[in-house]
Amino acid sequence: MCPPLYCFLLVSGSLRSSQEMRKLTNEQQKAICSQLGNVMKLKLLYKASIHGFTSAAFHQHCDNKSPTVSVGYNNSGFVFGGYTRQPFSQSGQFVSDDKAFVFSFSGEKLNKYPVTDASRAVKMTKNSGPNFGDTLILANKNKPKVFSNPGNQSHTSAFYCLFLICFSLTEYHTFEKPWREVTWKEKEKLIERIKSYKPPISSVPAAQVLLVGPVGAGKSSFFNSFKSVFRGHVTGQAMAGTSTTSVTRLFRTFTVMSELDGKLLPFVICDTMGLEAEEGAGLNPVEISNIINGHISDQYQFNSSVPLHSEALGFRKNPELKDKIHCVTYVLDATKISIMLQNMEKKLKAIRETVNLSRIPQLVLLTKIDEACPLVKEDITKVYKSTYIKELMQEAATRIGVSLSCVVPVKNYSEELKPDMSIDILLLSAVDQMLNLVDDFFDEPRD
């Protein structure tokens, strides 16, 4: 038998639950990145539990992406994987990569095994996932199996494939100057602009902005965070959480009162049930027409399978302009943009088409920017210097179908106990842009 291309052996251990094997720890991610030079974060391309445990699903999401790290687990919770600079394909050929390596973890410690035959470092196999020189194969022959062939030994076991990640967008690159100008000390000026805003039509006392987005993206958290700016402390009025299903079940309209003068802001945030990829779950996109046209009142309880109809109790048959939505804002999680499921994208597209027909301006809030980019986590004022955040904003713009100027990054309050000036500035800037779009709504001739 040919000598092994990598000196690598899977080991067994005590069985761990799937909850324990859901993701790499921060220390394990840092350990992998430390082997790759100028890399700051692993960007998720493929997750077997989401996209499917087949070679076709792997190749659909990962072909022609490079460099990549593939990470898997066996049924004992043993963590292992491999790195290559070569883009995956289905040619059936071996390719050369003198920088390729496979690895395993002993707790938080990474054990690295470099390639011993660079000309046969990676094999481009159609019916499997990542194949490191026929020595380590993840998802072998369309099955959730790992094949390891170190020397004369072989080991096959089930494994849970967590990550296959492309690093090309996550290296430590920054713009020399911010590509958008933000004045980080003009909080009071922004507050005053928002407080003094008046819709250009006297019959409309306040701008109504609808928040739409997947479960967990941060819709309710955005309202709580924005309210915190005006209350002087972190608040939690709107229900927010980390559930996989929507915490919000009612259509809610939220107003904010300024702590300084006790007056309501001329701005209403309308929160909806979260979108879910599964058919028949979460907010029904058909309901959007009722919402934006003012047929649904505060406290309406959503029914995923049966949208509100015109003869139902609570249906507002003759809404006025003040009851309608003046701007639709999509709330998207920056850490999940690249792995958005087709069903979720389909639902967002259906909503966008409905909103377009009503000629309502649309904005995208990109949340969790600190979780997506370590540079921003260290210093949020560098958000517009991060090339990675700009790439995510461009991807969000493409998926929703708006211009990049209609995408704004924010960080919601999550673990903080006290307001932060820089977080406040981004939140206020986002609302300021919403109000600009509300003015565009009223500029548009209405029937």
Domain assignments of the chain as residue spans, ordered by start: 26-166, 187-443
Residue 163, pLDDT > 70, answer no
Portion of the chain with pLDDT greater than 90, in percent: 38
What pLDDT, on the 0 to 100 scale, is given for residue 403?
A: 95
Quick one: tokens of 335?
């850490």
Higher pLDDT, 431 or 22: 431
d(CA 376, CA 174) in angstroms, rounded, equals 11
Question: In this structure, what DSSP letter does residue 257 have?
Answer: E
Contacts of 397 (CB under 8 A, 6+ apart): 364, 403, 404, 406, 407
Is the alpha carbon torsion for 5, 11, 17, 19 positive or negative? negative
DSSP secondary structure, 299-338, as one string: TEEP-SSS---TTSTT--SS--GGGS-SEEEEEEETTTGG
d(CA 299, CA 54) in angstroms, rounded, equals 44
- pLDDT classification of 432: cutoffs 50, 70, 90: very high
What pLDDT, on the 0 to 100 scale, is given for residue 159?
A: 40
Mean pLDDT over each residue of the chain, to the nearest integer:
82
d(CA 352, CA 291) in angstroms, rounded, equals 13
Residue 227, pLDDT > 80, answer yes
- pLDDT classification of 9: cutoffs 50, 70, 90: very low
Of 9-18, 198-207, 297-306, 386-395, the range with the lowest mean pLDDT is: 9-18
The answer to whether the peptide bond before residue 285 is cis (omega within 30 degrees of 0) is no
How far are the Cα atoms of 73, 195, 383, 422 from residue 220, in angstroms, in the given order? 35, 21, 22, 20
Are the beta carbons of 274 and 256 closer than 8 angstroms? no
Of 65-69, 81-85, 158-162, the range with the lowest mean pLDDT is: 158-162
Closest by Cα among 439, 437, 400 to 201: 439
Give mean pLDDT, residues 203-212: 95
Are the beta carbons of 360 and 292 closer than 8 angstroms? yes
Are the beta carbons of 23 and 47 closer than 8 angstroms? no
Are the beta carbons of 45 and 336 closer than 8 angstroms? no
Rg (CA), the chain: 25
Most confident of 128-137, 181-190, 428-437: 428-437
Portion of the chain with pLDDT greater than 70, in percent: 81
Residue 12, pLDDT > 50, answer no
What pLDDT, on the 0 to 100 scale, is given for residue 38?
A: 64
Residue 188, pLDDT > 60, answer yes
Residue 132, pLDDT > 80, answer yes
Residue 49, pLDDT > 70, answer yes
Give mean pLDDT, residues 277-291: 85
Higher pLDDT, 163 or 84: 84
Q: Superfamily for 187-443? A: P-loop containing nucleotide triphosphate hydrolases (3.40.50.300)
pTM for the full model? 0.71
Give mean pLDDT, residues 79-102: 90
Long-range Cβ contacts of 189-196 (<8 Å, 24+ apart): 190/425, 190/428, 190/429, 190/432, 191/229, 191/230, 191/428, 193/432, 194/265, 194/267, 194/428, 194/431, 194/432, 194/435, 195/258, 195/263, 195/265
Are the beta carbons of 366 and 392 closer than 8 angstroms? yes
- pLDDT classification of 10: cutoffs 50, 70, 90: very low
Residue 313, pLDDT > 70, answer yes
- pLDDT classification of 8: cutoffs 50, 70, 90: very low
